[in-house]
Every structure is written in C-alpha cells, then in structure tokens.
C-alpha cells in the first residue's frame, strides 16, 4: 500500500517552526532562509488544505490543526532518529540525556554515577541541569528527575522517594549572640530562600504556626538549594534543608538540624520521568533500574509513606 505523505522538507520545516514557535529560529536550525521556511510551511498547508499557523507581526502561533499535527510529527521524527542511530552504529556507544536539578546532581547523583559508568561503559551519560521541569515536546531529553505529581498521561513516572523539609544552620550560628532554641527564634536571623521553590519555606512556617510572624521573602534568595545550603554552612543564615541534600553536611557537623521533631513533608514526590515511547529504550531502562536500586541502597533517605 502506498503511503500518502507530504514533502519531507515541508514536514521538517513545520516541525522546527512549531518547536521553536518561530520561523526565524527554524531557519537558523535548518541553515536556510526565513522565506524558505515560510514557503515550505505554505506548501504543507496547501497540501493539507488547512492552516497550521496564524501569522502575526512578530510571531507565529499554532492553530488547532497545527497543535494536533505537531506532537505526532515530532514523535515520528524521534522514531526515525532512533532507528537511524541504531542502523548506523548498532555496536557503538549510545547517549543518554538526563535533566535534573543542579543540587541533586552535585550532592546525590554524581557521587554515585561512576558505578553506572563502570557497569555500562557503552552508554554515554549527558547531564543537563535546570530548576524547571523539562518540556519533553521541546527538548531533546530522555529522562528527567523532578519533584511534583503525576500529571501527564503521555509520560511514564517512576516513584523514587519523598522528602522532608527542616531548617538547618551552622553550629556557630546556633550558639551565637542570638541562639536558636525554638522556631520563634528564626525571626532574629536571615532566612535563605530558594525562589523557584518559595513554597517550601511557606509550608514549613505554616505547619509550625509562624506564617504570620516570619516572611521568608525578607531574607536572601537563591536559585538553587546548593547555593542556599552552602551559604548556611558559612554561617550567613538559616536554610531549609531536605534529604538527600543536607544529610552529609549534618553527619559532618557543619550543619545542624534545628528542630528534628518539626519536619514537614515536602509538597510533591521525587520521580524519574520519561516519555512513554522512550521507556522501552535499552539505555533508558538500564538507567531506570540502576537509579531505583541506588535509591533503595541510600539509608539516609527517610522512610515516608506516599
């Protein structure tokens, strides 16, 4: 049976333009002119007899038809890419791209990564960090470690663990001129807030009856837990800790868990996430199995019910 397909160049131009939401950026990616992208998209629209974009003065937006067509086309190109890679280099190394939070990468994953590399030397691991969760429709990422809830049926979620939130500070700060003996003493110190996760401090303060008396926005703000935790170690304020981020610092005595009986369960669990169609890739499945085993081996992670 002969398949009825539009011209490949038109499909490539549309996919790139839809992914970037820009004809200009699509042209840069494909090394052609802006007018060439516009021409190819117009050819595809004529072939389909429907508009895929609405053109505005400085931008383009997908129509309803374009929004329906794009994810199917993106998946098809991904499958072609995977199949091509398998044919060209079936015995060569395969690359696994993982997005995760910088603090989780530095403080938990990277120290354990050599065991994965030793076991699977033919899998090249590429780590990229972001404080935002990955958009699998826009980014060339196969796996993401994230905090949140299962919200997208097109994604596969593997539960890793849950976390508790609790204030931490350096021993010198705890015993300094404004000693910390109870949660109310926090108002005498600088709070160190991670602004992409600003709700964490709010949740802890609310759970301990301090929401109306302490505003975490008045303190120093950072874009990662790595920065806030390091600042706390230096005695410059009180950070909000969570396992597995601060376990080693507490064991080393450079941070103190201020109120061990006042931990609050974080909003959202930790998940390993991938697109459903990528879940069966061998490199994805091998990393998934390895990561889940590493979580089980980590005795510092608290046993929390889901």
> Are the C-beta atoms of residues 266 and 162 closer than 8 Å to each other?
yes
Per-residue pLDDT, 305: 44
Host domain of residue 231: 164-265
Distance CA 163, CA 270 (A): 8
Specify the CATH number for the domain of residue 233. Answer: 3.40.190.10
Work out the pLDDT band at 93, boundaries 50, 70, 90: low
Domain membership of residue 304 (yes or no) is no
- Residue 56 within any structural domain of the chain: yes
Average pLDDT, the chain: 89
For the stretch 40-88, pLDDT in tens is 999 999 999 999 999 887 788 999 999 999 999 988 888 887 777 666 6
pLDDT, one tens digit per residue, over 160-200 is: 999 899 999 999 999 988 999 999 999 999 999 998 888 89
Same-domain status, 76 and 213: no
**Dihedral angle of Cα 200, 203, 208, 210, to the nearest 10 degrees:** 90
Domain finish residue from 65, 88, 111: 88
Residues 245 and 183 in one domain: yes
Percentage of residues of the chain with pLDDT beyond 90: 62
Indicate whether 1 belongs to any domain.
no
Looking at the fold, whether 170 and 255 belong to one and the same domain comes out as: yes
Alpha-carbon span 205 to 236, nearest angstrom: 20
The total of structural domains in the chain comes to 3
Question: Is 306 inside a domain boundary?
Answer: no
Task: Check whether 254 has a pLDDT greater than 90.
Answer: yes
What was the pLDDT predicted at 86? Answer: 66
28 and 71 co-located in one domain: yes
Q: Would the pLDDT of 306 be above 50?
A: no
């Amino acid at each position: 049976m002969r398949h009825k397909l539009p011209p490949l160049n038109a499909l490539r131009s549309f996919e790139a333009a839809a992914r970037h939401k820009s004809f200009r950026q699509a042209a840069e990616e494909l090394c052609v002119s802006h007018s060439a992208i516009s021409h190819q998209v117009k050819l595809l629209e004529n072939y389909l007899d429907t508009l895929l974009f609405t053109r505005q003065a400085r931008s383009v937006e997908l129509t309803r038809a374009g929004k329906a067509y794009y994810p199917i086309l993106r998946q098809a190109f991904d499958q072609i890419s995977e199949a091509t890679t398998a044919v060209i280099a079936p015995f060569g190394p395969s690359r696994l791209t993982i997005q995760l939070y910088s603090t989780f990468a530095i403080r938990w994953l990277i120290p354990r990564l050599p065991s994965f590399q030793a076991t699977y030397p033919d899998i090249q691991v590429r780590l990229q960090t972001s404080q935002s969760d990955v958009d699998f429709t826009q980014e060339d990422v196969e796996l993401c470690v994230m905090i949140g809830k299962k919200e997208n049926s097109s994604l596969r979620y593997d539960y890793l663990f849950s976390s508790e939130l609790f204030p931490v500070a350096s021993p010198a700060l705890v015993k300094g001129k404004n000693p910390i003996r109870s949660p109310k003493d926090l108002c005498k110190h600088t709070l160190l807030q991670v602004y992409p996760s600003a709700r964490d401090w709010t949740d802890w303060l609310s759970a301990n009856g301090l929401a109306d008396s302490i505003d975490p926005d008045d303190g120093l703000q950072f874009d990662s837990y790595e920065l806030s935790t390091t600042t706390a170690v230096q005695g410059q304020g009180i950070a909000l800790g969570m396992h597995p981020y601060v376990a080693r610092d507490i064991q080393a005595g450079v941070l103190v868990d201020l109120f061990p009986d006042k931990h609050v369960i974080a909003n959202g669990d930790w998940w390993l996430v991938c697109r459903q169609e990528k879940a069966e890739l061998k490199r994805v499945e091998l990393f998934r199995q390895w990561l889940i085993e590493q979580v089980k081996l980590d005795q510092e992670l608290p046993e929390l019910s889901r």
